[in-house]
Amino acid sequence: MSTVELMLLATILLWALNLSVTKYILTHGFEPLQYASVRYGLAAAIFVGLTLFAERTLRIARRHLPVVALAAACLFLNQLSFVFALDATTASTIGLLLGAIPIFAALFGLALGTERPSGRFLVAAAISFAGVALVALGSGGEVSGSYLGILLGLATGATWAAYSVVVGPLMATYSPSRISAVVIPGAWVALALAWAASRPAEPDWDVGWELWALLVFATIGPLVLTNVLWFRSIHRIGANRATLAANLQPFVAAVLAVILLSESLSALQVAGGVLIALGILVVRRRAAPPQAA
């Protein structure tokens, strides 16, 4: 395998593994907002340190500050949805639902006028959302599954797509690390304030070294390292080809959750995952050629 293929594979595996790791952490000690606040606080410190070391500045032009604030708000909502979705339902279910992210991104593109509506896209969206409905029906009868978790899973995909659309124009001016160094701290402040406002009692920090080790892994691996690998891959082969490879992540996440957490997938959920993937293939069948590195 080439270097870029190895980078993409590592990124997909880390993203996929993050769902099972987070589900385990939330099940065995940490509260959702406690986990999100600590994880993003650690990630913010790492990104600020790395960016200052590499670029010597975190400067963002004044005209771009509203976009940065909007990106931080999208990321804050994304993390709220993510942790509470995993707290409410299974990691395998959320993994399948995240397969709809490209459809959400295209919908936001239509709303902003950067994408043109087409019959192919409407068919693809209908197929993918039919898949989402099957995933929801397949998990509705489980004790650990709930329709609230399904809605939060969809919100996770939608807010990540919104964040990607909002932050895209900034990539033409700033490095990914600088954007992360200003956006992630903003999201962390919002998460910490939400946690401080909602927690009824003193948090339990005595959760064992294993959970702390997993939290550090979930920060350094799926949050920090993947940021570096992902954008280096895009630089090497273009966003279109890299995104096509990333579409494997929901399937891998669901499989890992079944293996590592002993979760189960119903036939309806598997069929729903297939439809979500089919919708993505339909909408990308005549996609633009890969961007030049």
- By the 8 A CB rule, do 85 and 94 touch? yes
Eight-class DSSP state of 290: P
How much is the pTM? 0.81
Highest mean pLDDT among 11-20, 43-52, 201-210: 43-52
Q: Which residues contact 79 (CB under 8 A, 6 or more apart)?
A: 36, 40, 187, 191
| Domain locations in the chain as residue ranges | 3-284
pLDDT in tens, 159-210: 888 887 888 788 788 888 899 999 999 999 999 999 988 866 677 788 888 9
- By the 8 A CB rule, do 32 and 87 touch? yes
Alpha helices in the chain (DSSP H): 3-28, 32-55, 65-88, 91-97, 101-112, 119-139, 147-167, 176-198, 209-219, 226-237, 239-246, 249-261, 267-284
pLDDT in tens, 68-122: 999 999 999 999 999 999 988 888 888 777 777 777 777 777 777 666 666 776 7
How far apart are the C-alpha atoms of 185 and 191, rounded to whole Å?
Answer: 10
How far apart are the C-alpha atoms of 125 and 120, rounded to whole Å?
Answer: 9
**Rounded (5°) CA angle 242-248-251:** 160
How far apart are the C-alpha atoms of 121 and 283, rounded to whole Å?
Answer: 5
